[in-house]
């Protein structure tokens, strides 16, 4: 079981290349990301505080169905405004006029902040185990002004102290292990930036400007974001569709990826992306263009089907 | 704030296309009915909070596509279901005869721990069209009895007959399963570092 999960990850890494864009002028501002799927489709952009790899299970499941996924690992910024400007420029560079956003935890907060600044660019949002106000973190961090000068190991320790501990379901425990591994790949600057953003003073999000196209996916047993903060998000967006998962912990995009992916599909279908229509369209109308440019995609599909069969075998 | 643990109940509605699965869900959650028929694509869900025996329960009701060609979401949403609602149209015999296969399909896909005691509820819908009726109440009730006393309701999504009562029963039966589950959950894996046994020189 363990080795097979690793296979899926290895396969993801060996199939989809990580890309880098630097949007800085004097200082390098490198954004790392994965981008896969048809280029003419509005992408779903995954924002998280972790590495760009952590959404691999969404790529493996959604891309073969015709969705375009982009997962980012953002360059270090120390203010929310700076981050939003940077993200905006990043989207410019990728020539994306409109995006769907998926944000978990700090990523969800950043997605909401970006929506406040550039509502016209955001078609819809999926928020996952996140918060709408950083006041709680601002109040509870003793050294938020000093993150940038703390050594790497201390920053890691601060982040890991928030990770779930104790008795956990096997899937969730495995996921936590994976996430701990991934933290190793973040530099001191990146870690410091994420903590600083997470503990920045509150008041960025204005609840009166509510986007309607929102799905909030929360797992009931998540612990790193207190329930009170998660419920506040529901109040900020009374129109949002709330999709609860019984279990899954803080990183349900890995531990409960199949359920979460269903929610993503249901969400995107409501807001314009419909896999069934896409398939029938491409079969009926674009069959020519498909065969001409679809060679790469084709092998992707076959490969991933092989994987998914394996996965379901294990589950049974 | 001594709040009890939140309860989420996952309910899945199955049945042939056109029997009124979406209408029943809409009538229950939104109190709305539309005569227009629009095929459900894939699956969608609505949530509703309700009280069951002094507990606040969030019900996540999944409405599925009756037509096979629209079942694009795979079987992932079956997982973790607490109750399955089988719907047929009392005016179309075929939809009743297919209940068997829908029930089997669910048990295969969801793979509940205890398939014999998994809570199902059967709804015979569209009773407002009484003069066209072909499946008698007696016939339906005896089928339900033969499958382990499945609760049976005759409903009309259009006239809102029995919809509220049926979903109350659904919630009550689902929560029984959820409560029952508290006991047999196996112990998890401890991820805190355990004292590693002293290394012996011998490999394996």
- Nearest chain B Cα to A274, which residue? B41
Number of Cβ within 10 Å of residue B24's Cβ equals 26
Query: Whole-angstrom Cα distance, residue B156 to residue A117?
Result: 48
Q: Is the pLDDT of residue B24 over 50?
A: yes
Kindly determine whether residue B190 and residue A167, on different chains, have CB atoms separated by under 8 Å.
Answer: yes
pLDDT score at B68 = 63
ipTM of the shown complex: 0.78
Kindly determine whether residue B47 and residue A275, on different chains, have CB atoms separated by under 8 Å.
Answer: no
In the A/B pair of chains, how many CB contacts fall below 8 A? 72
Question: For strand B43-52 and strand A69-73, is the pairing parallel, antiparallel, or unpaired?
Answer: unpaired
3-state secondary structure B158-184: CCCECHHHHHHHHHHHHHHHHHHHCCC
Give the minimum alpha-carbon distance from A223 to chain B in angstroms, rounded to a whole number: 13
Cα-based distances in Å from B107 to A25, A129, A215, B101, B118: 60, 31, 29, 10, 9
- Which residue in B79, B111, B190 is closest to A259 by CB distance? B79
Give the minimum alpha-carbon distance from B58 to chain A in angstroms, rounded to a whole number: 9
Give the minimum alpha-carbon distance from A166 to chain B in angstroms, rounded to a whole number: 6
Q: Per CATH, the architecture of A3-282+297-313 is what? A: 3-Layer(aba) Sandwich (3.40)
Closest CA to B64 of A262, A275, A264: A262
Kindly determine whether residue B77 and residue A167, on different chains, have CB atoms separated by under 8 Å.
Answer: no
- Which residue in A173, A244, A275 is closest to B60 by CB distance? A244
pLDDT digits (tens, 9 = 90+) for B68-100: 655 666 677 788 899 999 999 999 999 999 999
| Cβ neighbours of residue A289 closer than 8 Å, sequence gap 6 or more | none
pLDDT score at B60 = 94
List of chain A residues with pLDDT < 50: 1, 276, 278-316
| Chain A residues inside the 8 Å CB shell of B42 | 265-266, 269, 275-276
Task: Identify the residue with better confidence: B113 or A273.
Answer: B113
Query: Whole-angstrom Cα distance, residue B95 to residue B88?
Result: 5
Contact by Cβ (8 Å): A132, A207: yes
Mutation for B interface: A276, A283, A307, most B CBs within 10 A? A276
| Chain B residues inside the 8 Å CB shell of A304 | none
Mutation for A interface: B74, B107, B185, most A CBs within 10 A? B74
- Residue B190 — very low, low, confident or very high, per pLDDT cuts 50/70/90? low
pLDDT score at A145 = 79
Closest CA to B7 of B111, B82, B110: B82
Question: For strand A99-104 and strand A122-128, is the pairing parallel, antiparallel, or unpaired?
Answer: parallel
Map residue B144 onto helix, strand or coil.
helix
Q: Is the pLDDT of residue B191 over 80?
A: no
Kindly determine whether residue B42 and residue A246, on different chains, have CB atoms separated by under 8 Å.
Answer: no
Contact by Cβ (8 Å): B157, B26: yes
The residue extents of the domains of chain A are 3-282+297-313
Cα-based distances in Å from B162 to B9, B61, B121, B126, B128: 20, 17, 13, 11, 12
Letter string b/e over residues A98-136, b meaning 16 or more CB atoms within 10 A of that residue's CB: ebbbbbbbbbbbbbbbbbbeeeebbbbbbbbbbbbbbeb
């Amino acid at each position: 079981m363990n080795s097979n999960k690793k296979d899926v990850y290895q396969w993801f890494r060996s199939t989809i290349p990580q890309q880098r864009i630097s949007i800085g002028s004097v200082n390098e501002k490198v954004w790392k990301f994965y981008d896969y799927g048809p280029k003419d489709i509005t992408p779903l952009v995954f924002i998280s505080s972790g590495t760009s790899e952590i959404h691999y299970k969404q790529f493996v499941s959604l891309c073969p169905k015709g969705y375009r996924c982009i997962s980012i690992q953002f360059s270090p910024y120390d203010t929310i405004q700076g981050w939003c400007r940077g993200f905006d420029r990043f989207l410019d560079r990728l020539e994306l006029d409109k995006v769907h956003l998926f944000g978990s935890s700090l990523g969800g907060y950043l997605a909401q902040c970006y929506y406040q600044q550039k509502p016209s660019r955001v078609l819809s949002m999926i928020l996952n185990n996140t918060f709408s106000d950083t006041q709680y973190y601002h109040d509870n961090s003793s050294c938020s002004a000093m993150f940038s000068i703390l050594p790497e190991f201390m920053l890691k320790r601060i982040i890991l102290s928030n990770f779930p501990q104790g008795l956990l379901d096997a899937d969730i425990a495995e996921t936590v292990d994976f996430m701990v591994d991934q933290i190793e790949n973040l530099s001191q600057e990146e870690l410091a930036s994420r903590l600083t953003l997470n503990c920045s003073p509150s008041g960025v999000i204005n609840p009166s400007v509510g986007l309607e196209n929102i799905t909030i996916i929360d797992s009931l047993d998540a612990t790193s974001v207190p329930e009170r903060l998660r419920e506040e998000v529901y109040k900020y967006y009374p129109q949002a569709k709330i999709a609860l998962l019984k279990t899954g912990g803080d990183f349900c995009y890995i531990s409960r990826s199949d359920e979460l992916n269903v929610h993503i599909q249901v969400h995107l279908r409501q807001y314009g992306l419909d896999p069934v229509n896409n398939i029938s369209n491409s079969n009926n109308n674009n069959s020519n263009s498909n065969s001409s440019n679809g060679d790469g995609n084709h092998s992707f599909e076959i490969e991933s089907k092989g994987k998914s069969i394996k996965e379901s075998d294990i589950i049974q | 704030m001594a709040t009890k643990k939140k309860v989420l109940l996952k309910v899945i509605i199955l049945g042939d296309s056109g029997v009124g699965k979406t209408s029943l869900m809409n009538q229950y959650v939104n109190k709305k009915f539309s005569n227009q028929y629009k095929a459900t694509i894939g699956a969608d869900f609505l949530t509703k909070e309700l009280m069951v025996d002094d507990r606040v329960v969030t019900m996540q009701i999944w409405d599925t596509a009756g037509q096979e060609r629209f079942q694009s979401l795979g079987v992932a949403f079956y997982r973790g279901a607490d109750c399955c609602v089988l719907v047929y149209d009392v005016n179309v015999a075929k939809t009743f005869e297919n209940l068997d296969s829908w029930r089997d399909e669910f048990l295969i896909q969801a793979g509940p721990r205890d398939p014999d005691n998994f809570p199902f509820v059967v709804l015979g819908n569209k009773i407002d069209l009484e003069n066209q009726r072909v499946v008698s109440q007696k016939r339906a009730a005896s089928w339900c009895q033969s499958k382990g006393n499945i609760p049976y309701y005759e409903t009309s999504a259009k006239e809102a007959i029995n919809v509220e009562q049926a979903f109350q029963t659904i919630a009550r039966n689902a929560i029984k399963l959820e409560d029952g589950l508290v006991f047999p959950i196996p112990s998890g894996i401890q991820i805190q570092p355990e004292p590693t046994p002293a290394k012996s020189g011998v490999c394996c």
